[in-house]
Structure 1
Amino acid sequence: MIEKTRFAPSPNGWLHLGHAYSAIFASDTAKELGGHFLLRIEDIDIGRCRPEYEQTIYEDLAWLGLTWEMPVRRQSEHFADYEAALKRLRNMGLAYPCFATRKEISDAIEASGISHARWPADPDGAPIYPGLYKDLSLSELNHLMWEGRTYAWRLDMKKALAMAETKAGGPITFLEENGGPRGQKGRLPIDPMLFGDVIIARKDVPTSYHLAVTVDDALQNVTVVTRGQDLFPATYIHRLLQVLLDLPEPRYRHHGLIRDKNGRRLSKSAKDMGLRELRMTGHTPADIRRLIGLMP
């Protein structure tokens, strides 16, 4: 078996030190295993992704001394693959259209008598979906679609988990080889119910991050998924989808996050200094490795 890892950035901003750590971690893992390192461009968010950011990703990684297999898979060129997976889930009766706006969801939570602060949130901090539009009749559904209302496809999590466990013959697990946020290793159970009825696609884009990466990892024969510990809970959804869609199971290596002096993890939204700026101000690849703790 040929081992394969991947680094999968989104071209919606400049890469920062956290991305450098993740890319080098994936590349080093491939070298350790005698395998191949892939680069994937996750650009399904067409509104925010920019060609100049994508070009700079290639330049930054090459500057770091990384090489990857060609061609690079760009998600925006493969919507048909994700749509086929979505169709399978729909045919299994596991996906339903949700027309709820953020305001409607917020209003429903407020009307429940439970404060927003006490309403359960998923691992990403978003409120658990309260179930609006979940049990529409066919006539109601057709009426809303005829009106042209915007909607998202949600996974009926309770039903999906029950079906997946039946297919798997018991509880679903994944193999963590590096360590989760609390140092977890080995065969670990999934708990996708923490996310509630998660969005897996939208009306205008036939996929979500969760569906796209699951399909891509299978199509690209990725054997070891390397990524930050902030995405550790996402593995629960991805393993669930792998079982439902009869996709192979990779191993996982979640790594620690690069943080600033105050303990905040780096992010594009906070406009943390990018690799582009660092290399333009005279830093070297060796400097970057020292900054992220991969060199003495």
Structure 2
Amino acid sequence: MQHVQLSPEISVPIIGLGTWKAHPDEMQTAIETAIAAGYRHFDTAFNYNTEESLGNALERLILQGKIKRSELFITTKLPVFGNRASDVERFLTMSLAKLKMDYVDLYLIHMPFAFACEADSMQPAKNDDGSMRLDMDSNPLDTWRAMEAEVRRGRAKTIGLSNFNINQIRKLYSEAKIKPTMLQVEIHAYHQQTELIQACRELNMAVTAYSPLGSPCAQSHFQEKYDHKRDIPELLTDPVVEEIAKSLDKTPGQVLLKHLIQRDVVVIPKSVNTKRIKQNIDILDFELSDDHLAKLDALDRGEKGRVFDFRFFKGVETHPEYPFANKTHIL
């Protein structure tokens, strides 16, 4: 497996298994399949509600002697409603308990903006209309200081950011005592984020692409959970992608993932389907030609290709740390 170096001591497998929207009943089989197929990198988050089922599945495999904790790379994330310095320790404690682990390999600030938190339930506080209550006073740098403390305590091997824009990254990086090693953002052929990737390279930060296949389930998720209607085109059936896949005797998904890892971008496609889990890691035996790469590069729609702008959270664009201010997109 190809790795991306985060520090002299820490590297991450370039292909991982995402777990967003994975049902707990599906996780045991999915994780067993993934481990057997060669996955050692698993991505979760407090918000996903998959930490516990991931932890249970991995604990079972460790006890069976099929894998060692030291062979795994586990990423989880501080929830948006815990995005304050005072909340970092307790939310990481809860995540570690669910994962049944003493440490995570990578801990990310999930969002630059923050919601208020109900102290009793440790769930997002809501307004009378049911929308999330924004915490306008949150400060990402203060949160980062608390993240640094968790590295010193050994509960996070390294730390990073998710969904931050270039200016937010540079500002935090300049003040950080322990520098972020990873940025996790939406990247796929319709939204390639070339400028952002280059900025991270200049800061010696690695980049992970979430939704590397264009997030086929996002449209139904936005509609069902938030009553937020979006017309999201199907990247996996794009004629250019299908043509390249056919010429290589590969699937469209394999072509899209290869497009990213040939740029040294880490990918974390989510699947609980046994066949697709195996297909998604079976991309190390071929290369995309310069012509293939040029055709895929030409699919980039810039901001118009963004799927996740988080405006399904009512009023989030008014938060001072909303990362996509003054940006519009039409898919």
Confirm or deny a common fold (TM above 0.5).
no
For the pair shown, the structure with the greater C-alpha radius of gyration is 1
TM-score w.r.t. structure 1 length? 0.31
TM-score w.r.t. structure 2 length? 0.28
